[in-house]
Amino acid sequence: MRTLLDTHTWIWWVTEDRRLSKRAKAVITGARTEQDLWLSLISVWEVAKKVEKQQLVLDRPLDQWLDDAVTIQGLGLWELTRPILVDSCNLPQPFHGDPADQILIATARRHAAVLVTKDQRIRGYAHVQSLW
């Protein structure tokens, strides 16, 4: 199953955080084995922003953490393409206005991927497949 990680899911997976649900962990393991586990580059930006605002403290310098966290075997990166960026502004309504979430939703829709997220607003959105 083509699988896209929400930013918090990616962080929790990489750091082995207990907040990652058992179901999410199992889906990630399966997608990784199938070489169909993905991360949007917007998540890299979100991590950098959280570090900048001191909302996230990492165990090593940001660049080193990112280098390690994006090069995990079986994890691919999806670029922020023009169609994804445009689609993010044309999502079926109603949807909240968080630009990063809009880009994640558009990315999942564009690539026909399930989005692994704990975010209730995304999980309640009928126009994207999600799980937790």
Q: Kindly list the domain boundaries of the chain, sorted by start residue.
A: 3-131
The answer, yes or no, to whether residue 89 has pLDDT greater than 90, is: yes
* Total-model pTM: 0.95
Look at phi and psi of residue 5 and say left if phi exceeds 0, alpha if psi is from -120 to 50, else beta. beta
Q: What CA–CA distance (Å, rounded) separates 100 from 115? A: 13
The token duo for 50 is 């959280």
β-strand partners of 78:
40
Place of tokens 């070489």: 35
Q: Residues 44-50: what's their mean pLDDT? A: 98
Residue 36 tokens, joined: 């169909």
Q: What percent of the chain has pLDDT over 90?
A: 97
The candidate with the shortest Cα–Cα distance to 76, out of 25, 117, 37, is 37
Check pLDDT > 90 for residue 71.
yes
Q: What confidence score (pLDDT) does residue 97 get? A: 82
Q: What is the mean pLDDT of the chain?
A: 96
- Give the pLDDT mean for 2-31: 97
Query: What was the pLDDT predicted at 69?
Result: 97
Among residues of the chain, what percentage have pLDDT more than 70? 100
CATH topology for 3-131 is: Rossmann fold (3.40.50)
Q: Which amino acid is located at 108 in the chain?
A: A
Give yes or no for residue 115 having a pLDDT over 90: yes
- Please give the pLDDT value at position 122: 96
Angstrom distance (rounded) from CA 30 to CA 98: 29
